[in-house]
Amino acid sequence: MCFSVQVERDLKKLAYRFDAKINDKAFDNFYHLQKNAPDKYQFAHDEDSRIFAKTWAPIICSVNGERQVRPMRYQLLPGFSPTEKYLRVDPKTNKEVEIKSTYNARIDSLQSARAWQKPFMNFHAVLPIKKFYEWVPKNGHKSIISFEPKNDEYLLAPCLYDNWFSEDKQKIIQSFAIITDNAVNEVMEQGHDRTPISLSEDNLDKWLNPQNHEDKYIIDILNSPKHDEYSHNWLI
């Protein structure tokens, strides 16, 4: 699980680096919502650019073949959810509880888990990550460790996103999940078993425009990630 990541807040830098257009209308709408409900529409933190579940971040997707930078929420809300919270019935209490695990999507569940079935091969994006943070065991307690690529500014994490609409169609929430796989050696050695997939930039357009390819080809891209070397730092 990748519970928190450090992202790039500079929209112009992202647009220039990845030859993408900033969707000003989408950001203007986000800033309007943020003004009216700041607790609900938190953007990547000013001090360290980190995002947590339900924090919003600039993400790169493709619209009609054009790369765009748009704001989306970290923690996917499936379009089929009848409410603004993705709920299930707890069999022990028979009460509805929120499903909170949809900020990460395991690569081996993309075609089987209900939340991923519509976004996969339809709504793909990439999140340029500077660092990712994990809880790992250390000296008998849980500690936080950060990992960052040694040789590149960003880890290009492939993502799935979905579009949720309110019943009256007046509200939309675009949200995403980072796709993860078994941990690379550097992360495994520090006690964690999963990492975000690192997409090769050569495969960026293929990933962002999956409709041009077969499912197996896209899965093969994810199963052949770019190998990054990571440095790590213990926070607590």
pLDDT value for 170: 87
What are the C-alpha distances in Å from 192 to residues 149, 189, 217?
A: 16, 7, 28
Top CATH class of 4-234 equals alpha beta
CA–CA distance, 88 with 99 (Å, rounded to integer) = 7
DSSP 41: S
Of the candidates 41, 14, 44, the residue with the CA atom closest to the CA atom of residue 28:
41
pLDDT value for 2: 66
SS3 content of the chain, % helix, strand, coil (to 5): 20, 40, 40
pLDDT value for 140: 78
Q: Is 118 helix (H, G, I), strand (E, B) or coil?
A: coil
Question: Tokens at residue 135, please?
Answer: 């809880």
Residue numbers of the chain with a pLDDT score lower than 50? none
pLDDT value for 191: 73
Burial grade of 70 (CB within 10 A; 0-12, 13-18, 19 or more):
buried
pLDDT value for 66: 96
pLDDT value for 173: 96
CA–CA distance, 15 with 229 (Å, rounded to integer) = 25
User: Global pTM?
Assistant: 0.95
- Non-local CB neighbours of 6 within 8 Å, separated by 6+ positions: 48, 49, 50, 51, 129, 130, 131, 132, 133, 146, 148
